[in-house]
Structure 1
Amino acid sequence: MADVAALAGVSSQTVSRVSNGDPAVIESTRQKVLDAMKELGYRPNSAARALKRGDFRAIGVITMGLSSTGNVRTLEAIAGSASRAGYAVTLIPLDAPTQDNVRGAFTRLDELAVDAVILIMEVRLLDTTALRLPPHVKVVVVDSDATGRFPVVDTDQRQGARSAVRHLLDLGHETVWHLAGPEESFAAGRRAEAWEAALREEGRKVPPVLRGDWTPESGYGAGLALAEEAGCTAVFVANDQMALGVLRAFHERGVRVPEDVSVVGFDDIAEASSFIPPLTTVHQDFGKVGELCVEAALRELRGETVTGVQLVPTSLVERASTAVPGRGDRPA
């Protein structure tokens, strides 16, 4: 600072005021200081400034891995929104959903000095007396089951599943089969519950649930089984990746989509419109979820009381994988 002050012909105090963005510094003086900083390669010490201010301008994100389309797209939106607000993002991906891993992630983020933490994970992992969250850190959770303890942002999973089932019933299908995600997944559970509730409300038969693990491979296995169900004319699949596997299995078994069976996915991944046929699916606005997470964290940091659940609506995107039943004859 002394070198910058000498080169610019100002006091060290003026250099400090320019570094901290003091609007009282006249523009000509500010420019002289900035030019001197550039010439000398001066950079303010952000760590020292953070300690002085008592905040770090950083948001931590703990997520269950980066293989999920939703997690990655939510994270992208969080990073963009945080950057626009002048905050950096520190990412801690977890390779396994254990209490020890979550506790270790919070400890690490506390050491790395963040002001807030966004959890893209199921809140059940926080339900333990052994887990002590840093008292100064604000927390926002992406999980609509996390009611009461933290501000929550999530996609309206149940609304999305209901719209998928409603679409297929409105086309004239007698019932809708369901390929669900893994039993331990809360998102899969909410979608399956909404699927069953929608059928029961209409007095329709509820077929047995098939289970997958979110991958195309598990969808392919379930699709082979569904191809043998002569009464199956409509399938709601809990994510687009499994739906891709279902489409492949149907193709190999000579089951035409949508002439023989209609298929609806969930997520609206970027590739969904390029499936054969293009996939009707439930669109989740992961970008909006990420933006609202950062907004909630920043409101907390400003001292506002932020509670409750913000659910981002879904929308059904109709493409060529659904149609009225009975357009073709199933192969024997």
Structure 2
Amino acid sequence: MSSTEARDAAAKPPGMTDVARVAGVSAQTVSRALSGHPNVQEKTRARVLAAVEQLGYRKNKAAGILSSGHSRTIGIVLLQTNSYSRIAVTAGLEQAARDAGYAVSAATSPSLEPVAIEDAMSRLAEQNVEGIILALPLIQVTRGIEELTKAIPTITIDGSRTSSTEVVAVDQSQAAKLATQHLLDLGHETVWHVSGPTEWLDAVSRSEGWRSTLEAAGITPPPELKGDWSPASGYQNGLILGRIPDVTAVFVSSDEMAFGVIRAFHELGKRIPEDVSVVGVDDIALAEYCSPSLTTVAQPFPEMSRLAVAHLLRYIADPGTTLAPASVEPRLIVRASTAAAPH
């Protein structure tokens, strides 16, 4: 470790997992000890409080937890991004939480690295949130994440999970099937696909749905192109697709990438939908005002948000409850970017 890294580590405030390590207990036990849970032995509680004192872990906050009980606050962990779909998710969760009488505290992660997600969850734990909604994928689960999800009721909304989380998600495979089948029904011989990044389970499920729909129709899927959710990656892939004469239909894994694909087609002299039909996913507000307006598969963000918050509140009320994973059905929105295959 360099001297700079050592200084940064020293400057970083201790988290719940640090207290757990020093006290020789789990993060779940730390949470219970600080909340006055009756099942924590006094000698264990004493070790936790000693670790709190030793580390200087939010001592005033810890005392407040002991005296105040419930915070009526839900935490959300988000990826740092300007994606419209992520903003829609956040807005939906905040509204659903307010409707249920809860405040929302958001913590962003600069990346999908497990240590960054664990840090975001720890920041929420220090704010005494009663539950956490993970609005990003868990590619790998650290011991700290496992302990935090055991200590604090946690819901994931992208299909990934730990041993202790509950899942509420949109059926992303069905979203892809709706888009792909729509294009096949219009008479296109095949459908090309611009996927999202493979670390997102949403993207993986959409790719699987696209592929399985083509195979069910007896069609060998063409090569899959990879994007990163950004309009720029859609544009770069559009420049490739626009130079392939046989491309007449494209399913793009997000509306924002679809905007980039359409821009590239315009620059290459391809007409939408006369020459190429394009379908996106999300139905963000801008989709209707794209030129032409974008056919897309709407993600029911408000419904998913209400369901996620409702699941989380039931989980908070009874942490021992077992809730079946909940799936929300997407819906195809047909607009002007799709038409019958050219002859």
Identify whether the pair has TM-score above 0.5, normalized to the shorter chain: yes
- Is structure 2 residue 253 aligned with structure 1 residue 238? yes
Alpha-carbon distance, 1:313 to partner: 0.6
In structure 1, C-alpha distance between the alignment counterparts of 2:100 and 2:195, rounded to whole Å: 38
Alignment of 1:299-310 (within 5 A): 299-303=314-318, 305-310=321-326
Q: Is the 8 A contact 1:148 1:308 kept in 2?
A: no
Larger Rg: 1
Listed as ranges, the matches of 1:56-205 within 5 Å are 56-125=71-140, 127-131=141-145, 132-133=147-148, 135-146=150-161, 149-205=164-220
Q: Is the 8 A contact 2:137 2:199 kept in 1?
A: no
CA distance in 2, matches of 1:115, 1:175: 49
- SS in structure 1 at match of 2:251: strand
Counterpart secondary structure, 1:174: coil
Q: CA deviation at 1:134?
A: 6.2
Deviations 1:153-196 (Å, cap 9, x if unpaired)? Answer: 11110001000000000111110011111222221111111111
Corresponding residue number in structure 1 for 2:312? 297
Assess if the C-alpha contact under 8 Å between 1:79 and 1:88 holds in 2.
yes
Offset, 1:205: 2.7
The residue correspondences of 1:7-46 to structure 2 (distance < 5 A) are none
Against the structure 1 CA distance between its residues 163 and 300, is the aligned structure 2 distance closer, same or farther, given a 3 Å change threshold?
A: same
Shift of 1:123: 2.7
The reply to whether residue 283 of structure 1 matches residue 298 of structure 2 is yes
| Structure 2: unaligned runs, 5 residues or longer | 1-61
C-alpha RMSD over aligned residues: 2.1
Residue 332 (structure 2) pairs with residue 322 (structure 1): no
Of all paired residues, the percent bearing the same amino acid is 41
For the 8 Å contact 1:147–1:308, the answer to whether it is kept is no
Letter in 1 for 2:161: A
In 2: Cα distance, 1:48 partner to 1:80 partner = 30
Residue 51 of structure 1: how far off its partner (Å) = 4.5
| Aligned position for 1:212 | 227
What is the letter of the counterpart of residue 102 of structure 2?
Answer: Y
Deviations 1:222-265 (A, max 9, x none): 11111111111111011111111111111111111111111111
Q: Secondary structure at the match of 2:148?
A: coil
Q: 1:130 to 1:53 in 2, by over 3 A?
A: closer
| Structure 1 letter corresponding to 2:183 | L
Kindly provide the amino acid, as one letter, of the partner of residue 177 in structure 1: W
Q: Secondary structure at the match of 1:271?
A: helix
- Asked whether the equivalents of residues 215 and 221 of structure 2 are also in contact (C-alpha less than 8 Å), the reply is yes
Give the whole-Å Cα distance in 2 for the aligned partners of 1:173 and 1:78: 38
TM norm structure 2: 0.77
Aligned length: 281
Distance in 2 (CA, whole Å) between partners of 1:157 and 1:134 is 24
- Between 1:262-271 and 1:106-115, the stretch displaced more is 106-115
Check whether the contact 1:150–1:307 (CA below 8 A) recurs between aligned residues. no
Question: Which shows bigger deviation, 298-307 or 281-290?
Answer: 298-307
Report the 3-state secondary structure (helix = DSSP H, G, I; strand = E; otherwise coil) of the residue aligned with 1:250: helix
For 1:138, the aligned partner's letter is P
TM-score, with length taken from structure 1: 0.80
Matched, 1:312 2:328: yes
Please name the residue that 2:278 is paired with.
263
Letter in 2 for 1:84: D
